[in-house]
Structure 1
Amino acid sequence: MNLILERTDAVPFFTEMSSVFKALGMRARDYDWFISDIETNYYGNGFTSEDQWMTGEALERFITENTVQFIWAVFSAFPKGTRFPVEVAPTVDGFPGYWSGVEVASQLANALFEIAAWDSSATILVGLPGKATERFVSVYPDAKLLVSAGR
């Protein structure tokens, strides 16, 4: 299922990933991540603006040790141990699928799900498992189906 969280007072700022994972009832360390189209208010501890593969443990450490707002970014989740050359990295602003009005899939083939930070004003969740969707909506009742949020 695909959701968007925007126009809400329920979060102190978009997209602080440790809060997103907590609301989903998930841990970053349970997956490996391809992170792309990155702009954030903090880089450091091995994290840069370059598109990158990151272990779930490293991502979890980075987001729990630092208060980071991701302004733009796409987090593509994969089973642990996944690595392959990414020829076309997922983008946020340049991806029209979010606003197409139809159910969209993760931009990278075989990604389990995708989390996108949209211009520090929305969190977009694509391909979420049912339980994570239910949990996120229970924490953030302002979240709505992405297909109904077409711009």
Structure 2
Amino acid sequence: MPIHTDVKAIFSSLEGLEEGYNWLITDFELNYYPKEFKNKEIIWISGEELSNILNTNNIQFIWGVLSGFNKSINIDINKLDIVPFADGNTTFWTNYAEIQHPLASVEIVCFDSSLTIFSSNNNDILQKFNNKFSDAVDLKRYNSFSK
């Protein structure tokens, strides 16, 4: 993968499953801001719309958290109790690393252009991701050995 935080490549690996979610995008910094992202700090967007934006623009997430929610869940971005974040989040490097928002089913964390943390409680999505990115390291396993 030429870019370690290439969300378009990650979505491609999921073979359309990403479109079955609505996505909360927080704590993001991009190399290019499409009009749907300009002047926004938090975004709530359908998987179909996000896939279309990624497929029609050359976007790299330098920082950011993309949290995928079942389509039946509605989030009011003006009343978020939990705002997932990447920069400065030390919980990634503990044995207790989990998806940050308790209602999310998928989490993609883009960390300073250098790595992506991918988590899901959907085994089909995890399998598709692992099939495409076979050299990916399991974060919980990594954390248990790095102590």
TM over 0.5: yes
* 1:5 equivalent in structure 2: none
Cα distance, 1:128 vs. partner? 4.2
Give SS of 1:149's match: helix
Q: In the alignment, residue 86 of structure 1 is paired with which amino acid?
A: L
User: What are the within-5 Å matches in structure 2 for residues 45-124 of structure 1?
Assistant: 45-48=35-38, 49-81=40-72, 82-84=74-76, 85-102=79-96, 104-124=97-117
Task: Structure 1: give runs of 5+ residues left out of the alignment.
Answer: 1-10
Q: RMSD over aligned Cα, in angstroms?
A: 1.8
Query: Is the CA contact 2:11–2:51 (under 8 Å) kept in the aligned structure 1?
Result: no
Secondary structure of the structure 2 residue equivalent to 1:72: strand
Q: Identity over aligned residues, as a percent?
A: 31
Contact 2:64 2:86 in 1 (8 A): yes
Cα deviation for residue 14 of structure 1 reads 2.0
Q: For residue 34 of structure 1, give the secondary structure of its aligned residue in structure 2.
A: strand
Q: Which amino acid aligns with 2:75?
A: R
Equivalent residue number for residue 33 of structure 2? 43
Aligned residue for 1:144, secondary structure, equals coil
Report the structure, 1 or 2, having the larger helix content. Answer: 2
Q: Which amino acid aligns with 1:89?
A: V
- Could you tell me how far apart the structure 1 residues matched to 2:98 and 2:123 are? 15
- Offset from partner CA, 1:86-117 (integer Å, 9 cap, x none): 13311102222211034x22111211111110
Which stretches in structure 2 are left out of the alignment for 5+ residues? none
The code of the aligned residue for 1:12 comes to P
For residue 67 of structure 1, what is the amino acid of its counterpart? N
TM-aligned CA distance change 1:88 to 1:135, over 3 Å: closer
The answer to whether the Cα contact below 8 Å between 1:72 and 1:120 also exists between their aligned partners in 2 is yes
Q: How many correspondences in the alignment?
A: 140
Rounded to whole Å, the distance in 1 between the matches of 2:129 and 2:53 is 22
SS of the residue 1:42 aligns to: coil
